[in-house]
Structure formats: C-alpha cells, structure tokens
Amino acid sequence: MYTHLQTYDSYEDSYDRITVDSARQDMATFTTLYEDFFKIMPDEPRKSIRATIHLNIIYMATVGYDLIERYDNRNDAIRDMMACDRAKDEQVANARLTSEPLCQHCSMTGLRITNKLLTSRSGSYKSQEVLFMLKCSHCDTNSAYWEDGTPHERLTIYCPKCNSTMNEKTATTVKAVTTTYMCSSCGHSYKDKYDLTRKEEAVDPNFEADRVRFCLQDEKVRDELRRAKQRFEEMARIGKEYMDKEDNKPVYDSVDKLVKLKIAEIVPLLQPVLEKAGYAELGLDKPEMGKDVLIGFNCLDTKSNRNDHDSAKTLKNLIKKQLETTNWRLTGDGVRYRLGYLNGRLRAYEREEDLKQLVMKSRKSKPKQEAGEPDKKNNYTIKNENGETIIL
C-alpha cells in the first residue's frame, strides 16, 4: 500500500529543490535589473560605492530576503509537511467500509480489499477521501467503493472501432496499475498503464552547488546576509524617519524652538509676570520624578477685590501664556483656589515624540489664541468638598 510519509531526508530534499528553483528565477530577475541599472547609468563605474549600495539593495529585495526567510522556515515547513503526510496515512489506515460491498459486476459479496487510496472524489473540491479497491473471487474483477459505501463512478469506455462498451480489467503491481480494455463486440483491446514508481528526475548537475549557496548552508554566508538585512532595515528606518522629518518640518522646527527649561528657571520666568498681576510668593514643591517630571506650584493672591473664579482663571491664563514657548505645561488637574492661596501642577515634556505632540496640539489651538478670544470653552469651574475653586 502506498504510504505518504517519507524519510526526513526526502522532505529536506524537496524543500531545498523548491528553494533552489525559486532562487534561480530570482537571480535571473536580479541579473536583468543589474544590467538595467548600468543601462540607465552608463557612466557609473561597475564597482563604485553608489553602484554597490544600489545593487546590494536590489539583490536583497529580489533574492536575499527570500533566502533568509526560506532558511528560517525550513524546519517548521518540513515538520508541517510530515505532519500532513502522517495524517493522510492515518486517515487511510483508520478507514473502514461502513457496509458490506457488493461486486459491481456480478453482485456477489465476499470481496477482498486489495488497496486503499486517498483521492479526491470527482466533482468534489472537498478534502481527499479514502477509496477502497476490491477484488471479486467469483468473477475475478475489481470494484471500487468510497469509505461511506458509495460506489466509485466509473466512466463507460466505448470501443474506438465499433462504439460498443469496453470491458476493463485492472492488474496492480508494486510498480504500476495496468488496465486492459477489451471490446465485447469486435474484440479490439488496448492497455493503459499508470506508473507507480517515482520518475527518475533528470540529473541537475548544478543542484548540489546551488543548494549550498541558496539554502545558506555556509554559516559565514548566512551571517553576512543577515547582517546585510539588518543594515538595510536600519537604512529603511532612517529613511522613513528622515521623510517624516521632512514632511513635518514646521513641527520639528517648532520643537527645536521650544525652550527646554530647567526647574530652576521656572520661577524667574513666571514670577515677574505674576507679581505684576497681583500674585505673590510663587513657590515650587519638590519635583515628582516619574515617567514625566511633575512639579507643584503655589502662590498668594494679593488683590482683595478679586473673586475666586477670576483669580484662578487669570493665574491659569498667565501661566499658560508664559509657558507656551517652553516644554512645560499646566497639568489637566487645573488651578485650585482657596482663601487667596492658589496651587496647581506643571508637567515637563522631554521626549521628542511628546514634544512633537505638544507642538501639534498648540498649533491646532493657535488661531483661536491669536484672535485674542478668551478660550472660555476650555475653562470649567468646579468647587470641591474642601471649598476650593478649581479652574480646569
């Protein structure tokens, strides 16, 4: 009986043959692109650095990446192929006829199973099913049934000479299945042979050399290719970053223009403006050093006729405006006011990505601020259970 599962070597062999075949085709593509490169740039010396870099990139894209991928997937792919074939063998081994088959020629029982095949039912694209080949001891002919008891549909063969129905007889050996067709009317006959032996493939004189080369059997070659892959991926990453910087140039320019304030520079920046507006004794808490740096601030309102809401709002807007060109911002907790004591928190933005976001956010809200309109929509007043007024 024909088994699907083969030795490990034969899977390695067939996997490598596919690798070699596809690599040869890819190499042909690369060779064409190589020639095209020098057609477009006829004055470029063949070994110039520019040509080398370009051609290396083209080589990696057309050949190199696939070679690494096929090398890396080899063990898994072979394991999958073996599992698949093992499952086929199990399906055949476990298949049982569900009912007693009758001879398709003389309708007698007691047929002997001569073979089980895994094959697709005609007209069905479903998975393969087991077909039982049976021999009748009474009339010495073959019958075939599917596992579920359905008889195998046989095509009626007509005699090419007199158009009568042909009888057929099948003889199976290890090497071949031979079917003899015989005309019941005029006696014309012919044979059809299905070869079961594996065809000797035409010897490929370059296969072993190409196998070493394209299946990356040499560790040095393999490592060099991997390093090339890393280099090009790095180049692609830098290229992308560069494109991003070009696309967002105004944003990056603004990021560069942001004043990166040290903690010690905050009070000197804010104090004069706040004092002018009637806020005294600006002080900072100890900074909280987490993923971001947060720092609490507090001051006293010296204007007796200013109410809680106005005081907190004025302070918020002053700080916001003063910090606009820096990498510091008021946090979302807002500014709190109670009995003329005001406090809140500031956050420092340090990472380039965060600074980029900061700039994009303030660019979006810029036109509104430039128009000099008070951004009322962004101000919410809350009074908490401690009686503090909070401007968010």
- Which positions touch Zn ion (CB under 5 A)? 103, 105-106, 136, 138-139, 159, 161-162, 164, 183, 185-186, 188
DSSP, collapsed to helix, strand or coil, labels residue 176 as strand
Q: Minimum distance between the CB of residue 184 and Zn ion, rounded to whole angstroms?
A: 8
> What DSSP string describes 14-77?
HHHHHHHHHHHHHHHHHHHHHHHHHHHSTTS-TT-HHHHHHHHHHHIIIIIHHHHHHHHHHHHH
Phi, psi angle pair for 388, to nearest 5° = -80, 140
CA distances from 277 to 69, 76, 250, 270 (A): 68, 73, 34, 11
Phi, psi angle pair for 319, to nearest 5° = -65, -45
Q: Minimum distance between the CB of residue 73 and Zn ion, rounded to whole angstroms?
A: 51
Q: Report the residue number, 158 or 242, with the smaller CB distance to Zn ion.
A: 158
How many angstroms separate the CA atoms of 3 and 174, rounded? 12
Q: Minimum distance between the CB of residue 181 and Zn ion, rounded to whole angstroms?
A: 10
Q: Report the residue number, 160 or 287, with the smaller CB distance to Zn ion.
A: 160
> What DSSP string describes 251-295?
HHHHHHHSB---GGGHHHHHHHHHHHTTEEEEEE---EESSSEEE
Q: Which residues, including other chains, have CB under 8 Å from residue 333's CB and lie 6 or more apart?
A: 344, 345, 390, 392
Q: Minimum distance between the CB of residue 158 and Zn ion, rounded to whole angstroms?
A: 9
Q: Report the residue number, 56 or 180, with the smaller CB distance to Zn ion.
A: 180
Q: Report the residue number, 158 or 341, with the smaller CB distance to Zn ion.
A: 158
Q: Report the residue number, 84 or 106, with the smaller CB distance to Zn ion.
A: 106
Q: Minimum distance between the CB of residue 170 and Zn ion, rounded to whole angstroms?
A: 14
Q: Report the residue number, 186 or 235, with the smaller CB distance to Zn ion.
A: 186
Q: Minimum distance between the CB of residue 150 and Zn ion, rounded to whole angstroms?
A: 18
